[in-house]
Structure 1
Amino acid sequence: MALVPYVESPLPALSKLHNSSVQFRFVNRELRLAQDWKKFGVAAVVWDAAVVLCMYLELGKVDLKGKEVIELGAGTGLVGIVAALLGARVTITDRKPALDFLSANVKANIPADSQGTAQVSELSWGEALERYPAAGFDVVLGADIVYLEDTFVQLLGTLEHLCSDSTVVLLACKIRYERDTDFLALLRQRFAVEDVHYDPERDIHVYKSWKLSPDRDL
């Protein structure tokens, strides 16, 4: 996720992004996540796409228990934390400048006896991918990570590296601009893509994707 400091917005709808912390209830637990808009901008606040993806995960339509899961562009870590609480073994990733902040949120919200279910790791899309096992994950998660056109090729390459023919990719996003649909078109060249959930209140879609393969039943 890009680290872009933003000036404080006067819009009421965005005022929650400037709170130093936010609280949610998922998996029968109260979760409190620190935010730091002034220092890290978009990388350190909880966006609606993350909330909607967590809600979708709680529906249980994708089995996470005991699965190897990786979250891309994790930001505050909410999605990865919820996946870990649902029984997955999660690698929660972002760029290096965000890792200390991200690690603090993970440590604060996962019980001490379950800390091993989630690890925080550096991942800049398209770089040093050999640090991660090729085709080594059952589920790949991403919330609001499709917004910088310059990263689309690297993001797609990262997905191709991480995914086997059986990997499920879940991307939650708001379709704001033409470039968002451009990424989905790019993704469809290599992956099957299905719109599996829509939250009309937040205008967020959840897309389920998997590698195109003649041997896989779509």
Structure 2
Amino acid sequence: MALVPYDGNYLPALSKLHNSSVEFDFAQHHVRLTQDWNTLGVAAVVWDAAVVLCMYLELGQVELKGKVAIELGAGTGLVGIVAALLGAKKVTITDRKPALDFLAANVKENIPPDQLAAVEVSELTWGQGLERYPEGGFDIVLGADIVYLEDTFPSLLQTMNYLCSNSTVVLLACRIRYERDTKFLNMLKQNFMVQEIHYDKERDIYIYKALKLTRKDL
């Protein structure tokens, strides 16, 4: 997740991003997240893609209980927090170093004390230091609105390839804004089987499911 501070002269439609906090009800819990657009920019606000992905997870279409999950470019941590509240056995919530203290504070505020040991906040810059994570060691990889900077596509794909085994389920929530977004999906299809599984018409958010191709599939 890029760290991009934003000018205070913003459009009214974006005003909710400048609120100091935002609240949701997910997984029978009240979730209150701090936002900090002025300091951390896009990494510190809740985007619609994260909300839609959490709504989808709450539907139970993907089994989380007992699973090991990781969230990429977590920002405020909403998706990873909800995954933990829905019963994931272990959740690693990642972002770049400047966002970690902010992210950890949101996790601490919203995860019950008896579940905190199962949630880890960890630095992950895509394509760097991957050896610190278990190769193919995650059942579920989650990403909300992480497909937007074309320069990051190769490192994001490298990271996904490393983290996923042939049984890992990848869920990506995003808005298809530009030709480059479609380009990313085409790049992803070189190593993953990709399927659109949900579309939120009101928010114009797609959710894609990706499964790593085996040697037989390639």
TM-score (norm 2): 0.97
How far has the Cα of 1:6 moved from its partner?
A: 1.1
**What is the root-mean-square deviation in Å for CA atoms of aligned residues?**
1.0
Q: Trace 1:142-181 onto structure 2 (pairs within 5 A).
A: 142-181=143-182
2:46 is paired with a residue whose SS is coil
What are the Cα deviations for residues 151-189 of structure 1, in whole angstroms up to 9, with x where unaligned?
Answer: 000000000000000000000000011100000000001
Match of 2:142 in 1: 141
Q: Which amino acid aligns with 1:61?
A: Q
Please give the alpha-carbon distance, in whole angstroms, between the structure 2 residues aligned to 1:192 and 1:9: 42
How far has the Cα of 1:9 moved from its partner?
A: 4.3
How far has the Cα of 1:195 moved from its partner?
A: 0.3
Please give the alpha-carbon distance, in whole angstroms, between the structure 1 residues aligned to 2:30 and 2:131: 36
Q: Report the CA distance shift for 1:45/1:70 in structure 2 as closer, same or farther (over 3 A).
A: same
2:210 is paired with a residue whose SS is strand
Please give the alpha-carbon distance, in whole angstroms, between the structure 1 residues aligned to 2:27 and 2:113: 16
What are the Cα deviations for residues 129-153 of structure 1, in whole angstroms up to 9, with x where unaligned?
Answer: 0000000000000000000000000
Unaligned runs of at least 5 residues, structure 2: none
1:198 and 1:206 in contact (8 A); partners too: yes
How far has the Cα of 1:214 moved from its partner?
A: 5.3
Q: Which amino acid aligns with 2:19?
A: N
**Pair 1:199 & 2:200 matched:** yes
What are the Cα deviations for residues 9-53 of structure 1, in whole angstroms up to 9, with x where unaligned?
Answer: 432221000000000000011100000000000000000000000
Q: Trace 1:109-148 onto structure 2 (pairs within 5 A).
A: 109-148=110-149
Match of 2:22 in 1: 22
Q: Identity percentage over the alignment?
A: 72
TM-score (norm 1): 0.97
1:183 is paired with a residue whose SS is helix
Please give the alpha-carbon distance, in whole angstroms, between the structure 2 residues aligned to 1:51 and 1:9: 25
Please give the alpha-carbon distance, in whole angstroms, between the structure 1 residues aligned to 2:195 and 2:10: 36
1:4 is paired with a residue whose SS is coil
1:9 and 1:15 in contact (8 A); partners too: no
**Pair 1:5 & 2:5 matched:** yes
Q: Which moved more, 1:153-162 or 1:205-214?
A: 205-214
Please give the alpha-carbon distance, in whole angstroms, between the structure 1 residues aligned to 2:187 and 2:209: 15
Match of 2:64 in 1: 64
Please give the alpha-carbon distance, in whole angstroms, between the structure 2 residues aligned to 1:9 and 1:181: 30
Q: Which amino acid aligns with 2:116?
A: Q
